[in-house]
Structure 1
Amino acid sequence: MLGAGAGFVRRARGEVADQARSVGRSGQGAAGASSKVLLRDVSEALLHRVAAASPQGEGHAAQLRTWAAEATERGYAVGSGEWDEGPTAVAVPVTGRGGPVVASLSLSGPSHRFPYEAVERFAAELTQGARLISDQGFRHPLGSEA
């Protein structure tokens, strides 16, 4: 999490031009599958800052904590229609050597291509990729090696 937002490190073009997310662009940290994963290990203070910066306001903190807990229990998070109408995303945590979440790995696409069975398959594949990244050590661009 970058303060109360999330940073995008890969640009992908959606079916509609305004669905593209640009490298380095930040968005609110209170929406989407990646945010649900990234909020797992944050302090209550940061969680409240993220909620306060969201359109829903600080009262959104309890929902954010619930989403983070659900993602932790499931091992992945799903977001649909939280950024834009139409896309669905699946995200998994990338952990540092000490175990905290340092990044997320996600896949997004048109919701009609993300039936439940596909979401579970995507999550399993993403988890394998995230494990490879975690096992080799992840050097966060804004901090030390995790």
Structure 2
Amino acid sequence: MSNNNAGAPSRPSAVQSVDRAISVLEVLAHAGQAGVTEIAAELGVHKSTAFRLVSALEARELVEQDSDRGKYRLGLGILRLAGATTARLDVVQEARPKARTLAIETGETVNIAVLSEGAALYLDQVAGSSSVQSSHNWVGQRIPLHATSNGKTLLSGLTDDQIRRETGRKLAAYTPKTVTDHTTLLAEVAEVRADGYSVVSDELEIGLTAVAAPLRNAHGDVVASLSVSGPTFRFDADKVDAARKHVVAAAEEISARLGWRLSPGSA
């Protein structure tokens, strides 16, 4: 009987390689620097195996070689990965006190989201007095960019070409109100850029309305989105307008804490 997978690496082998590569990083983190022979001894593998692992990590700039001593150390790629995590933690840390105040002011659920692999990744959530019992926990979930106020706010920091790449070729319909064509989506995102906030009702699920505004860093880049969400029946025109003012003000205050300065002509 023929084996169609002949020659292909087995899944356990691939997982073992990942585990060993992580072990290399841990060895270097502990030792500071180490040669291939030392790494092989720590991992209990042949020197050639250690060299292949180190070479793969070096190609991704996760490790680098000391040209004088020939030993390896952690590379700049590690700093980039750590920096991305630190930046997200900074956003949550700076935003949480204001998010609590915003939840009290509006009585609704407050969420903080970032762009992540073609979706809005929810990092933090604070429930308001009106939503304590019924609020869905979004933390850790990835939500469609084209069907949410947080998503459209995050997209407002991108170019049109970047938006098309992030959202993919097909925009899925979640309700009859979901935007499913890029032309309409790009037009709506352009409005978000101009207005400084996004309002979405019943696009991800019927009965859910949310208002979001961008969180910016010192360079003015949109690094996250802050939103207030609740049942559509509670969000009449007056409630949406009040929530919008609170969200925009809170987002500007948080952005200031992240280093952004509102230009005089943009207020």
TM-score by length of 1: 0.79
**In 1, Cα distance between the equivalents of 2:182 and 2:152?**
12
Question: Shift of residue 55 of structure 1?
Answer: 1.3
One of 148, 161, 167 as aligned partner of 1:32: 148
Structure 1 134/113 Cα, relative in aligned 2: closer, same or farther at 3 Å?
same
* Pairing 1:107-146 to 2, within 5 Å after superposition: 107-137=228-258
RMSD of aligned Cα (Å): 2.4
**In 2, Cα distance between the equivalents of 1:80 and 1:51?**
22
Instruction: Tell me the amino acid that sits aligned with residue 171 of structure 2.
Output: S
Show CA shifts across 1:82-138 (max 9, x none).
Answer: 111101100111111111211111001111111112111111111111111111117
What is the aligned-residue identity percentage?
A: 28
Show CA shifts across 1:59-91 (max 9, x none).
Answer: 722222111111122221111111111011001
Say which structure, 1 or 2, has more relative contact order (CA 8 Å, 6+ apart). 1
Match of 1:99 in 2: 220
The answer (yes or no) to whether the contact 2:149–2:211 under 8 Å persists in 1 is yes
Question: Shift of residue 32 of structure 1?
Answer: 1.1
Question: Shift of residue 46 of structure 1?
Answer: 2.6
Match of 1:23 in 2: 139
**In 2, Cα distance between the equivalents of 1:51 and 1:63?**
15
TM-score by length of 2: 0.46
Larger radius of gyration: 2
Structure 1: unaligned runs, 5 residues or longer:
139-146
- Which 4+ residue blocks in structure 1 deviate beyond 4 angstroms? 11-17
Match of 1:141 in 2: none
Figure out how many residues of one structure are paired with residues of the other and give that number: 135
Please identify which structure carries the higher helix content: 2
Structure 2: unaligned runs, 5 residues or longer:
1-114, 174-179, 260-267
Question: Shift of residue 33 of structure 1?
Answer: 0.9
